[in-house]
Amino acid sequence: MEYDVSAIIQGYAQGYFLMADDANVLGWYTSRDRTLIPLDERFCYPKSLRRILNSGRFAVAVNRDFAGVVAGCANREKTWISPELQEIYWQLYRFGWACSFETWQGDELAGGVLGIVIGGAFIGESMFYRISDGSKVALVKLVERLRDRAFVFFDAQMMNPHLERFGAYRVNQREYRSLLAQALKRQCSLF
């Protein structure tokens, strides 16, 4: 099935995001506040992770295995990434909007972050790991890449304890829309 990619991107550009409910019915959602991963000095991570980063145990890649990252993100007991949403991500990827930021250990996909890039906004949809610390390293390296490429923000959508450890913070809807307006004026790329 073909989806209207431009309408989907327009929805994200207005501050909405797609999710499937428990019955796999896809819908547009927004929230009163959004969780952002800081791209400045507020971003932090444990010292134990520094040792792993410095060890060179993981290599990073963009879109080396987009389908594998989508499948990894959807492979949970309870998921908002329905088969229909997986197909939408695939079409967004084909048109250059969706991407996967990955960690690899040798030839094995260790983890990754699935996201959508619109201007200077990186909208994180989900993350997963197959090898311990794979997603954490992906998150740290992704933040470095977003900083280097002058992205305005990294939207993680909803807070959780894992993201809180990295300095994630909430902004209200008005502040989010202001940042989004700034981001839409930029042309950024992960490459």
61-105 pLDDT per residue, tens: 999 999 999 999 999 988 999 999 999 999 999 999 999 999 999
The pLDDT value given to residue 163: 92
Q: Which pair of structure tokens corresponds to residue 116?
A: 């959508």
Q: For 52-64, what is the mean pLDDT? A: 96
Q: For 26-36, what is the mean pLDDT? A: 95
The pLDDT value given to residue 69: 98
- Local structure of residue 77 (DSSP, 8 states): S
10 half-sphere exposure, CB direction, 13 A CA radius: 5
Structural domains of the chain sorted by starting position, each given as residue range(s) with its CATH number in brackets: 5-184 (3.40.630.70)
- Show the CA angle centred on residue 178, arms to residues 151 and 44, nearest 5°: 45
d(CA 151, CA 190): 9
Q: Where are the alpha helices (DSSP H) in 113-172?
A: 134-148, 161-164
Helix H or strand E encompassing 82: none
Is the pLDDT at 43 greater than 90, yes or no? yes
List the one residue out of 20, 29, 68 whose CA is nearest residue 158. 29
Is the pLDDT at 48 greater than 90, yes or no? no
Q: For 106-114, what is the mean pLDDT? A: 98
Alpha-carbon radius of gyration of the chain: 16
The pLDDT value given to residue 1: 82
* Band (47; pLDDT cuts 50, 70, 90): confident
The pLDDT value given to residue 39: 97
- Say which amino acid occupies 53: L
d(CA 171, CA 59): 32
Contact 123, 17 (CB under 8 A): yes
Is the pLDDT at 46 greater than 90, yes or no? no
d(CA 9, CA 176): 17
Determine the straight-line distance between the first and last CA of the chain, rounded to whole angstroms.
29
Residues in the chain: 191
Q: Which pair of structure tokens corresponds to residue 105?
A: 């250990």
143-182 pLDDT per residue, tens: 999 999 999 999 999 999 889 999 999 999 999 999 999 9
The pLDDT value given to residue 78: 87
Q: For 128-146, what is the mean pLDDT? A: 97
> pTM for the whole thing?
0.94
